[in-house]
């Protein structure tokens, strides 16, 4: 094919992308075409000339990663995945944003082949890409460049960089010198409200330079494929720092009426505007989803470009002495690591005391020897949260370090863990105080939505924090985290249950939240690491209980003491430790009833809000207010987390149950 002929087909292909970006939203009567139209040449350059991938195997571990942080422009990604042959068909584009389609409104990892992370909430994808770049560098240093040797590309816009998470993530990436992270900033000067100047006059290039990024201002080159290609390739060659390519684009281009208009952002073009735009591009004005065979051939050829590289990589993996370890690192389940966690429970002797955050550190230390691809750290609280992974620090000088100092960047930490999880090959973890999980919540929600296999370690889990006062004393947090679907929340009662919590986490197919105490807790005689996986079980049992006390975390030992007094006074009492609502809910109704018999009056005890406990309890002991500044034991006592209050509440539940039974009999 002559160069002139190839150029003509490439130009046609770019316009076909733009047309698909208009057709799909119009058919759905919903969607964002403007950004996809403007970035069609950039996507063309990336997918046909730069990106290292094999369309026949979108999950090839050593592929380049591409993240569309502005997930509202999903039709751009879907069009490229279809054209390059990564599993989508033209019919999928026609079902854009419809029930059950493979082309939802925003990209969803695990739902659509070729989508790396779930994006949409702005800034998240950009921060995910930072986690991916950290992971690539770690694995490259750990296994060698013959097995891991790729780049992470991300498209981001004004909305991404307006969100606070982008500042955290960009600062972290610059500090770590993530040279294989390449971001194209789509500087189109448009938001939903109108021109960005209504609310944004930042010098984005200046702030990224201050973060330690290499910044290249490309200017008005959004339609110059050769310049875009050269810029992307040059960024790949500079591995000393992450690169920001600033591209001045024009949203909705080449629409005759709506180029550079904020209406092009979120409102589908009508039929007349689409026809006029197609006419400008020289496409059939009255045809929808038109893809001529020469264009499809061009992109399918590009999609197969990486097949030989993938095959060569597979040969290297098959011959590598690291092969077995590589496969273990990418395995979704690690029973050997779970077994090591359970074995670590033997180190916690009944009668001894340990804060569960400290117990977690002991278990984690033992796991890192079995699983060398556990990576992570904390948001400036490594020692406080028990998240010391290794003495080797992840840094510019040591890309193979497992210990990540995230700094006071909770939100970026959470999103980076999600990106690391979806990159694959590692089990990422991150720690901070439970009260600061609020700063992470958008990332945690996306972790749960996308089944990201990562571990959130949240410590200082109650008003037992003490003197720091209500700003640092979580009250509503545990219950609010339980409200997130697919997030496994575990609040262990002691060191043994903490080991069991880690055994669950390493085999979980999604995110796990470990809720850990600051204060020392007694190791119980009858706690059982293996039974944490059941979600709830009796730590004190009797043949025919009069009342059940159900508790989590630090309150389990309070209930054990209360049960001893109640039983000595003739009230047969079962105590149930319930480390995880989510794991308990997965059991059969019969299994659940055997633990929490609905016919027996039950009292819940948890140092947090009581909202939700009515599911299991007739009476709830909790804290439906904010805390106070005082020594932790004093705060717990003043707010009713005491043996005496639990005993009184148990008697109240018995009286209430008797009253209800009497009323029922009268009726």
Mean pLDDT per block of 10 residues along the chain (667 residues) reads 81 98 97 97 98 98 98 98 98 98 98 98 98 98 98 98 98 98 97 93 96 98 98 95 98 97 92 98 98 98 98 98 97 94 97 97 97 98 97 96 98 98 98 98 98 98 96 98 98 98 97 98 98 98 97 98 97 98 98 97 98 98 98 97 98 86 58
- Centre a 10 Å sphere on the Cβ of residue 6 and count the other Cβ atoms it contains: 11
Q: Are residues 283 and 352 in the same domain?
A: no
Per-residue DSSP letter, 640: T
Residue 265 · residue 190 · CB < 8 Å: yes
608 plus 580 within the same structural domain: yes
Question: Which tokens go with 666?
Answer: 């009268």
- Please check whether residues 298 and 268 belong to one and the same domain: yes
Q: Tokens in use for 322? A: 């690291």
| Distances from the Cα of 288 to the Cα of 19, 27, 44, 90, 93, angstroms | 8, 9, 20, 11, 11
CATH code of the domain covering residue 622: 3.40.50.920
Assign residue 294 a region: left if phi > 0, alpha if psi is -120 to 50, beta otherwise?
alpha
Choosing from 522, 544, 579, the residue where a domain stops is: 522
On whether both 497 and 458 belong to a single domain, the answer is yes
DSSP assignment of 519-587: S-EEPPSS--GGGGGGS-EEEE--SS-SEEEEE-TTHHHHHHHHHHHHHHTT--EEEEE-S-HHHHHTS
Whether 570 is covered by a domain: the verdict is yes
What is the separation of C-alpha 146 from the centre of its chain, rounded to a whole number of angstroms? 28
Judge if 230 and 360 occupy the same domain: no
Distance CA 445, CA 457 (A): 15
Per-residue confidence (pLDDT) for residue 453, from 0 to 100 = 98
Instruction: Assess whether 339 and 307 both reside in one domain.
Output: no
Task: Tell whether 614 and 467 lie within a shared domain.
Answer: no
DSSP 452: -
Residues 558 and 480 both lie in one domain: no
State the Cα–Cα distance between residues 483 and 468, nearest whole angstrom.
27
pLDDT score, position 194: 92
Domain-embedded: residue 538: yes
Q: Is 587 exposed, middle or buried (0-12, 13-18, 19+ CB in 10 A)?
A: middle
- In this structure, the number of other CB atoms found within 10 A of the CB of residue 211 comes to 19
On whether both 540 and 514 belong to a single domain, the answer is no
445 and 492 share a domain? yes
The total number of structural domains that make up the chain:
3
Contacts of 105 (CB under 8 A, 6+ apart): 30, 31, 72, 74, 97, 120
Residue 244 class from Cβ within 10 Å (0-12 exposed, 13-18 middle, 19+ buried)? buried
CA atoms of 401 and 485, how far apart (whole Å): 33
DSSP H or E stretch at residue 264: helix 263-266
Alpha helices for 115-224 (secondary structure H): 124-143, 158-162, 164-176, 204-211
Bridge partner list, 621:
605
Please check whether residue 528 lies inside any domain of the structure: no
Residue 116 placed within a domain: yes
Of 502, 522, 542, the residue at which a domain comes to its end is 522
- Work out the angle at residue 233's Cα, subtended by the Cα atoms of residues 230 and 235, and round it to the nearest 5 degrees: 110
- Catalytic annotation, residues: 410
Contact 428, 376 (CB under 8 A): yes
In a domain, 480, yes or no: yes
* DSSP code, position 11: H
Pairing of strands 537-540, 512-515: unpaired
Same domain, 304 and 338: no
Cα 386 from Cα 382, distance rounded (Å): 6
Q: What is the pLDDT of residue 463?
A: 97
Domain-embedded: residue 582: yes
Residues 255 and 276: beta-carbon distance below 8 Å: yes
Range of the domain at 612: 533-666
- Are the C-beta atoms of 631 and 564 separated by less than 8 Å? no
Q: Is the peptide bond before 139 cis (omega within 30 degrees of 0)?
A: no
Largest CA distance in the chain: 95
Q: What is the CATH number of the domain that holds 254?
A: 3.40.50.970
Residue 527 is assigned to a structural domain of this protein = no
The pLDDT value given to residue 142: 97
- Does residue 307 share a domain with residue 443? no
Q: Would you state the pLDDT for residue 1? A: 47
Is residue 43 in some structural domain? yes
User: Which H or E run includes 400?
Assistant: none
Burial class (CB in 10 A: 0-12, 13-18, 19+), 59: exposed
Cβ density class 182-198: b for 16+ within 10 Å, e for less: bbbbbbbbbbeeeebee
Question: Smallest Cα–Cα separation from 481: which of 450, 448, 452?
Answer: 448
**Beta 427-433 vs 374-378: how paired, if at all?**
parallel
User: What ranges in 371-484 are assigned the alpha helix state H?
Assistant: 382-385, 410-423, 437-449, 477-482
Measured in residues, the chain has a length of: 667
555 phi/psi in degrees, rounded to 5: -85, -10
Nearest to 146 by CA among 308, 323, 291, 6: 323
DSSP 219: E
CA distance linking residue 478 with residue 591, whole number of Å? 24
Task: Mark which of 487, 522, 557 sits at the end of a domain.
Answer: 522
Burial class (CB in 10 A: 0-12, 13-18, 19+), 384: middle
CB atoms within 10 A of CB 109: 20
């Amino acid at each position: 094919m002559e160069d002139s002929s190839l150029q003509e087909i490439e130009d046609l292909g770019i316009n076909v992308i733009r047309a698909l970006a208009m057709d799909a939203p119009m058919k759905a009567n919903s969607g964002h075409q403007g950004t996809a139209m403007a970035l069609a040449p950039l996507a063309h350059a990336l997918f046909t000339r730069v990106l290292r991938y094999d369309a026949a195997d979108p999950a090839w571990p050593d592929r380049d990663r591409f993240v569309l942080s502005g997930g509202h422009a999903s039709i751009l990604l879907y069009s490229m995945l279809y054209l390059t042959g990564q599993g989508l068909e033209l019919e999928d584009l026609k079902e854009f944003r419809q029930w059950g389609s493979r082309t939802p409104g925003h990209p969803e990892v695990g739902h659509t082949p070729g989508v790396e992370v779930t994006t949409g909430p702005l800034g998240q994808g950009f921060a995910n890409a930072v986690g991916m770049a950290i992971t690539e560098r770690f694995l490259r240093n750990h296994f060698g460049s013959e097995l891991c040797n790729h780049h992470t590309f991300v498209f981001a816009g004004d909305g991404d960089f307006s969100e606070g998470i982008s500042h955290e993530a960009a600062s972290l990436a610059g500090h770590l010198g993530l040279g294989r992270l390449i971001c194209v900033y789509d500087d189109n000067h448009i938001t939903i409200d109108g021109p960005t100047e209504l609310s944004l006059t930042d010098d984005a290039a200046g702030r990224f330079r201050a973060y330690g990024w290499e910044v290249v201002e490309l200017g008005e080159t959004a339609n110059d494929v050769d310049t875009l290609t050269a810029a992307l390739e040059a960024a790949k060659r500079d591995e000393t720092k992450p690169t920001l390519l600033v591209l001045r684009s024009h949203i909705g281009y080449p629409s005759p009426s709506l180029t550079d208009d904020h209406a092009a952002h979120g409102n589908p073009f009508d039929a007349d505007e689409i026809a006029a735009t197609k006419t400008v591009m020289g496409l059939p004005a009255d045809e929808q989803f038109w893809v001529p065979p020469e264009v499809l051939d061009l992109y399918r050829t590009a999609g197969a470009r990486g097949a030989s590289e993938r095959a060569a990589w597979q040969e290297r993996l098959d011959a590598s002495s690291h092969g077995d370890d590589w496969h273990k690192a990418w395995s979704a389940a690690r029973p050997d690591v779970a077994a090591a966690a359970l074995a670590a429970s033997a180190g916690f002797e009944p009668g001894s005391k340990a804060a569960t955050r400290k117990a977690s550190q002991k278990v984690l230390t033992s796991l890192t020897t079995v699983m060398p691809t556990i990576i992570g750290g904390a948001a400036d609280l490594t020692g406080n949260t028990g998240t010391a992974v290794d003495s080797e620090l992840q840094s510019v000088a040591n890309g193979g370090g497992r210990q990540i100092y995230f700094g006071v960047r909770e939100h970026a930490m959470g999103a980076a863990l999600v990106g690391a999880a979806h990159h694959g090959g590692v089990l990422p973890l991150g720690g901070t105080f439970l009260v600061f999980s609020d700063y992470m919540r958008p990332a945690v929600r996306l972790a749960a939505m996308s089944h990201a296999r990562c571990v959130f370690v949240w410590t200082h889990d109650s008003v037992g924090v003490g003197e720091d006062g209500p700003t640092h004393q979580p009250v509503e947090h545990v219950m609010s985290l339980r409200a997130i679907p697919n997030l496994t929340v575990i609040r262990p009662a002691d060191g043994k249950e903490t080991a069991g919590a880690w055994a669950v986490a390493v085999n979980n197919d999604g995110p796990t939240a470990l809720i850990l105490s600051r204060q020392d807790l007694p190791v119980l005689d009858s706690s059982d690491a293996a039974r944490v996986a059941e979600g709830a079980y009796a730590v004190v049992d009797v043949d025919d209980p009069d009342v059940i006390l159900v508790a989590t975390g630090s309150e389990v030992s309070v209930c054990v003491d209360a049960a001893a007094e109640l039983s000595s006074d003739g009230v047969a009492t079962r105590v149930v430790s319930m480390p995880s609502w989510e794991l308990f809910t997965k059991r059969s109704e019969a299994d659940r009833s055997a633990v929490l018999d609905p016919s027996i009056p039950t009292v819940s005890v948890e140092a947090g809000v009581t909202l939700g406990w009515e599911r299991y309890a007739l009476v709830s002991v909790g804290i439906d207010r904010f805390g106070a500044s005082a020594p932790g034991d004093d705060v717990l006592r003043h707010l009713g987390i005491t043996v005496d209050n639990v005993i009184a509440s148990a008697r109240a539940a018995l009286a209430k149950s008797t009253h209800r039974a009497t009323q029922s009999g009268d009726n």
